[in-house]
Amino acid sequence: MSDEEFEENSDGFKALRKAYEKLRSEKDDLSKELNVFREQASRQSLEDLFKAKGVNPLVAEFYHAEDKSEAAVTAWLDKYKDVLPGLGAGQPGGEQQPDQQEPPASTAPQEVQEAFGRLQQVGQGGAPSIPASLTAQIEAAGSYEEVLKAIGR
């Protein structure tokens, strides 16, 4: 092939280079997409493994080891059970046991406890209950000032 013939066919090489670049670009895009899918599948299987162990799957965010086998995850959970939330020491499988103790008795005065109870009742969609003595004082009041005095203002 002479130099003249080569120059005449150079469009063929340009088209070949262009096609090669296009295929290379597509391959790179597909490789990136494949890596994203692999990462998502790995994360999901790790979360499923944590869930199967009775641990909140969000704890999987703290697991950064390459080995994602069940044995490796179990060893990691055993190692960090004292510092991770929901993996209390001595609890099998990382399951958190609810406290069985009664809440402590309130140290608030009785009238504060009653007022709190009325607030809770209103918050749950009920009507506020007014003590009978206060209702009687309000009904017996003859003026606006007496009503204010009855309600403590």
Q: Tell me what pLDDT residue 96 has.
A: 45
- pLDDT > 90 fraction of the chain, expressed in percent and rounded: 13
101 found inside a domain: no
Give the whole-angstrom CA distance, residue 77 versus residue 55.
9
pLDDT tens-digit map of 113-123: 787 877 777 77
Q: Tell me what pLDDT residue 2 has.
A: 60
pTM strictly above 0.75: no
Is the separation of the CB atoms in 81 and 89 below 8 Å? yes
Is the separation of the CB atoms in 63 and 46 below 8 Å? yes
122 and 62, same structural domain?
A: no
50 and 22, same structural domain?
A: yes
101 confidence band (pLDDT: 50, 70, 90) = low
pLDDT tens-digit map of 46-82: 889 888 888 888 888 888 888 888 899 889 888 887 8
User: What range does the domain containing 136 cover?
Assistant: 110-150
Give the whole-angstrom CA distance, residue 137 versus residue 121.
23
48 found inside a domain: yes
**Is residue 31 within a helix (H) or strand (E), and if so which, with residue range?**
helix 10-52
Q: Tell me what pLDDT residue 36 has.
A: 92
30 and 78, same structural domain?
A: yes
pLDDT, greater one: 144 or 41: 41
